Amino acid sequence: MRWIRRNLLTGYAILALVYLFLPISVVVAFSFNNPKGRFNYTWQGFTLKNWLNPFGYPGLQDALKVSIEIAILSSLFATILGTLIALALVRYRFRGSGTTNMLIFVPMTTPEVVMGASLLTLFVNWRVPQGFGTILIAHILFNISFVVVTVRARLVGFDRHLEEAAMDLGANEWQTFMKVTLPIIFPGILAGGLLAFALSIDDFVITYFNAGATVTFPLFVWGAARVATPPQINVIGTSIFVIAVAIMLTQILVSNFRNKRVSTA
Amino acid sequence: MLHRRKGAIPYLLLLPGMAWLVLFFVVPMWYLGKMSLSSGLFPVFSFDWAWGNFSDAVSSYQTQFIRSGEYAAIATAIALVVSYPLAYWIAFRGGRWKSLFLLLVISPFFVTYLIRTLAWETILSDNGLVVHTLQHLHILGPNGRLLATSAAVIAGIVYNFLPFMVLPLYVSLEQIDSRLIEAAEDLYASRPRAFMRVTLPLSLPGVFAGVLLTFIPAAGDFINAQLLGTPRQYMIGNVIQSEFLAVRDYPTAAALSFVLMAAILFLVLLFARILGTERLTVAA
Amino acid sequence: MSDSFTREQLLRRAVAGSALLTVPGFLAACGGSSSKATSTAASSQTMPSSLTWSNWPLYIDIDEKTKTHPSLVKFEQHYGVHVKYLEDINDNDSFFGKIEGPLSQGQSIGRDLVVMTDSSGLPQRMIQLGWLEKLDKSAIPNIKNLVPSQRNPSWDPNRDYSLPWQSGMTGIGYDPKLTGGPVTSIHQLFTDPKLKGKVTMLTEMSDSVGVTMLANGDDPSKVTDATFKKAISTMQSAVSSGQIRQFTGNDYASLLANGDIYACLAWSGDMVQLQADHPGLKWVIPTDGGMTWTDNMLIPKGGHVYGASVLMNWYYRPEIAAMVEDYVNYICPVLGADKVLEKSDPDVANNPLIFPTPEMYAAVHQFDPKALNNEDYKKQFQTLIGG
């Protein structure tokens, strides 16, 4: 009985992951497709040539580079800014906390086309040339709220007694924060950062308005889709995923290795 | 223990982020507000306190507003049900691979929305395995289809926002000391009751956050209805999109946006009130 | 009386005040002085050191091995001018929404050449708003190679502001295996019970309304309130009955390829690509007539007129147009390109979807440009398609 119950959850989790990856597996499969035409809709035959020449379309490489750079930078900044806000909101009672709360929610409610266009109006008015910088500003903007909400979920359940204990033992505020608080809320910060990264790398509408002449990966794909869906796009998507997983795996294995060494020393 | 001393600290913490929001969000919203009270035809609009834009917006597009709320609510509920066990599993059984699983959860975003939706269109195709199976099981009629239906739109929304539900849930669940759960199970002598009495309440901040991060953007979504739905599934996001880009009726688009934003905020506040905000947004 | 205004004066003042509130208008009101873009020597005839050209993605020839655009490389070598080629236009309305802010303020958008579709009504709009530069015709002798049917569009009768890049035709694409026979008319699309729920129309107003008007016996190049309304209600019945499944952009292509739809309004260029993988698919111009549209090269205000004109002229050389056509596979507006291709790529040269026959040209129509920018019509159409 226990066995079933215990594995029920695991079985369910596997199903959920399968559901999550169902379309991804189709995407990966179609990256090996060999269409004669320019659309990648029907399976025509297996080929490795897309993988051998993933950047066959000029512009695709640059678009990808821009997207990754912006995703990393904007999630970094948004995570920092958002975590600070979350700390303030959860731990302190101050005047304006209600308004601040509202101000965090409202950007999430704004339709993308409106947010993108009104931000552009601002940039044009202030004569800010549109390009990489404005895309970055926009991405940080919409990411902040998501980070705040995520980190806050973690902070709310945080047991302050741990901090008090640390301070009793002689640590000052900064040390306590770095050695006690931060590690414990880190999963929340990581989750917020991952969400921000995902939002940024897939954003289309807001980016479109504020990109000037810069092209990001989603912009390229949407634009190309009018005349083609090259399998190289599937290749790139798959590759990003594989590389990210590989990096994560390496990091986990390395830290495991280090932990083992410490414990056997 | 809440810091009650006034001090500058909270304000300093807030400053950089809020300054960003004020500068790049509030100011544009001000312009948008003025536009919502204007009238005219592109490209000439005049500000004339046209409150009528708001009432027109609500009355003309009532159906789409309600539909958006429905779709977003249903999608959020489904996402919650699907995500909670997954988040639970990652939090308690994930071991040292937790961060890897989190990465896996967001990895569909690396493949752009369009490509993964095309993949869904292939999977849910009228001639595909899924539809045939469902027809066989009489869940779908003999000519039934999955694509171009409300089911497809809602499913698309669910899939798109799944990470936004999983991650906050995980973040909240992972914090729960498993010994607490063990103790509760001993106490209540039954796992379901331990869950209901201990785990679930402790994970409520995560539930609240996940619901917010899913419902709020889902209500304004347009792309799922556009690709996976028929005109009968179109949401208020589609209306705003077309008013803004195609018709270029900026006052109406602006008014619609504000009504949408207000409606969502109202629902969020209601939801928070029901759950009890203090518990969810402020440290114990 | 000095202190009572005539109605006219009042109106004039109101208009002056309201100009403050164009979307760009409130930019000016907020202190932005309208600085004129440095219109780089619009009347001089020297080439600039570089040109910037915005186009739709995958709309020019590509050499996959070298990852360059051969026709562009040749231009750069010939004139010693660097061309910054951007593929950032993926939707007319969105692109317009992006550039209207700066343009309305007199700011340059940093591009010398852009490509936009006539059926969006936007090139015409931009002419009316004064946001386009006139071409330097003296730099474009090859304009003589423009196909006759494109020489005098109603929205730019002398081709003062535009030159076609590629055009396309809108007709009925279908899979004969699934439809059980030919689909030849819009009427059939809307009423054939075999096609119920397996038909899509386009979100392009000019295409969907245009072919419906033709099916109703009306003329889409001269739209009236009555004929427009009639077309909308014809489509509305087909939507309500469930005959029309969806209104799509070019994502109908994947549905047709998967067999989720049997017949649809389709663009000629898409069919060329689909037929490469599905030779059985067919494309016809409806019996009552089809529509045609053209993507036009335009010079936005502030662009280098001479340089852009020379660039346009380059692409009206038949051998260069052939290079582009061989890859893009939409409809070529340049005479003589098919002769060039007959030797190097006869499949393309003889494909009527790329080089249409005179009968095909006669069977397609253009949508009334005045109706394209009519807000009321647009709202009616948007309501129909659900927005």
Minimal Cα distance from C245: which residue of B?
A: B230
Categorize the per-residue pLDDT at B3 as very low, low, confident or very high, splitting at 50, 70 and 90: low
Minimal Cα distance from B213: which residue of A?
A: A146
* Cβ contacts of B109 within 8 Å, gap of 6 or more: A198, A199, A201, A202, B163
Q: What is the 3-state secondary structure (H, E, C) of chain B?
A: CCECCCCCHHHHHHHHHHHHHHHHHHHHHHHHHHHHCEEEECCEEEECCCCHHHHHHHHHCHHHHHHHHHHHHHHHHHHHHHHHHHHHHHHHHCHHHHHHHHHHHHHHHHCCHHHHHHHHHHHCCCCCHHHHHHHHCCCCCCCCCCCCCHHHHHHHHHHHHHHHHHHHHHHHHCCCCHHHHHHHHHHHCCHHHHHHHHHHHHCHHHHHHHHHHHHHHHHCCCHHHHHHCCHHHCCHHHHHHHHHHHCCCHHHHHHHHHHHHHHHHHHHHHHHHHHCHHHHHCCC
Is B51 inside any structural domain? no
Enumerate domains of chain A plus CATH numbers: 1-55+230-265 (no CATH), 58-228 (1.10.3720.10)
Domain that holds residue B256: 62-281
Q: Which of C239, C260, C378 sits opposite B125 (nearest CB)?
A: C260
- Candidate CATH numbers 3.40.190.10, 1.10.10.10, 3.30.70.270, 3.30.420.40; the one for domain C168-292+367-384: 3.40.190.10
Residue identified by tokens 């931060």 is A182
**Cβ-contact A144, A85 below 8 angstroms:** yes
Substitution target in B171, B195, B224, B279 with the highest count of A β-carbons within 10 Å is B171
Q: Which of B31, B42, B44 sits opposite C18 (nearest CB)?
A: B44
Q: Which of C58, C97, C254 sits opposite A224 (nearest CB)?
A: C58
Digit-coded pLDDT (tens) for A82-122: 999 999 888 888 888 888 888 898 999 898 888 998 898 89
- Structure confidence at residue B1 (pLDDT): 45
Is B34 inside any structural domain? no
- B/e letters for A90-107, b = 16+ CB within 10 Å, e = fewer, are bbbebeebeebbebbbbb
- Structure confidence at residue B164 (pLDDT): 93
* Cβ contacts of C103 within 8 Å, gap of 6 or more: C24, C109, C126, C129, C131, C300, C301
Structure tokens at C8: 């006219």
Question: Is residue B13 over pLDDT 90?
Answer: no
Q: Which residues of A touch B4 (CB under 8 A)?
A: 93
Residue B76: closest CA among B171, B159, B199: B159
Count of pairs with CB atoms under 8 A, one residue in A, one in B: 304
Q: Does A261 or B97 have the greater pLDDT score?
A: B97
Report CB contact under 8 Å: C87, A215. Answer: yes
Report CB contact under 8 Å: C110, A212. Answer: yes
- Structure confidence at residue A147 (pLDDT): 95
| Chain C neighbours, 3+ Cβ pairs < 8 A | A, B
State what percent of residues in chain B have pLDDT above 70.
Answer: 95
Kindly report the nearest CA distance between residue B232 and chain C, in angstroms.
Answer: 7
- Structure confidence at residue B244 (pLDDT): 87
Residue identified by tokens 């937790």 is B98
- Structure confidence at residue C142 (pLDDT): 94
Q: Which residues of C touch B41 (CB under 8 A)?
A: 375
Q: How many domains does chain B have?
A: 1
Report CB contact under 8 Å: B121, C260. Answer: yes
Categorize the per-residue pLDDT at A263 as very low, low, confident or very high, splitting at 50, 70 and 90: low
Report CB contact under 8 Å: C64, A57. Answer: yes
Kindly report the nearest CA distance between residue C100 and chain B, in angstroms.
Answer: 9
Digit-coded pLDDT (tens) for A29-84: 988 988 887 888 888 888 888 888 888 777 788 889 999 999 999 999 999 999 99
Cα–Cα distances in Å, from C187 out to C266, C367, C381?
Answer: 16, 19, 19
A 108-167: CB under 8 A from B: 108-115, 117-119, 121-122, 137-138, 140-141, 144, 146, 148-158, 160, 164
Per CATH, the homologous superfamily of domain C50-167+293-359 is: Periplasmic binding protein-like II (3.40.190.10)
Residues in chain C: 387
Q: Is C295 helix (H, G, I), strand (E, B) or coil?
A: strand
Distance in angstroms (rounded) separating the CA atoms of residues A189 and A147: 7
Residue C173: beta bridge partners?
C264, C283
SS3 content of chain A, % helix, strand, coil (to 5): 75, 0, 20
Is B233 inside any structural domain? yes
Is B101 inside any structural domain? yes
Report CB contact under 8 Å: B115, A194. Answer: no
Report CB contact under 8 Å: B247, C382. Answer: yes
- A136-145, B68-77, B109-118, C318-327 — which is least confidently predicted? B109-118
Q: Domain spans of chain C?
A: 50-167+293-359, 168-292+367-384
Residue identified by tokens 């730019």 is C156
Q: How is residue C146 annotated by DSSP?
A: B
Kindly report the nearest CA distance between residue A210 and chain B, in angstroms.
Answer: 12
Minimal Cα distance from A217: which residue of C?
A: C88
- Burial label for C49, CB within 10 Å (0-12, 13-18, 19+), is exposed
Q: Is A157 helix (H, G, I), strand (E, B) or coil?
A: coil
Q: How is residue A14 annotated by DSSP?
A: H
**Each residue's pLDDT expressed in tens, for chain C with a length of 387 residues:** 333 333 334 334 333 333 333 344 333 333 333 333 444 444 578 899 999 999 988 889 988 778 789 999 999 999 999 999 988 887 898 899 888 888 988 888 889 999 999 999 999 999 999 999 999 999 999 999 999 888 999 899 999 999 999 999 999 999 999 998 899 999 999 999 999 999 999 999 999 999 999 999 999 999 999 999 999 999 999 999 989 999 988 888 888 988 899 999 999 988 888 888 889 999 999 999 999 999 999 999 999 999 999 999 999 999 999 999 998 889 999 999 989 998 888 888 899 999 999 899 899 999 998 899 888 999 899 989 875
- Structure confidence at residue B241 (pLDDT): 87
CATH of the domain at B201: 1.10.3720.10
Q: How is residue C315 annotated by DSSP?
A: T
- Structure confidence at residue C380 (pLDDT): 92
Digit-coded pLDDT (tens) for B106-149: 888 888 888 888 888 889 888 888 888 888 888 888 878 888 88
- B/e letters for A217-227, b = 16+ CB within 10 Å, e = fewer, are bbbbbbbbbbb
Question: Is residue B247 over pLDDT 90?
Answer: no
Q: Which residues of A touch C52 (CB under 8 A)?
A: 213
**CA dihedral of residues A212, A213, A219, A220 (deg, nearest 10):** 180
Structure tokens at C203: 């979100």
Distance in angstroms (rounded) separating the CA atoms of residues C235 and C82: 49
Q: Which residues of B touch A160 (CB under 8 A)?
A: 1, 283-284
Residue B3: beta bridge partners?
A92
Q: Is the pTM of this model over 0.90?
A: no
**Cβ-contact C263, C173 below 8 angstroms:** yes
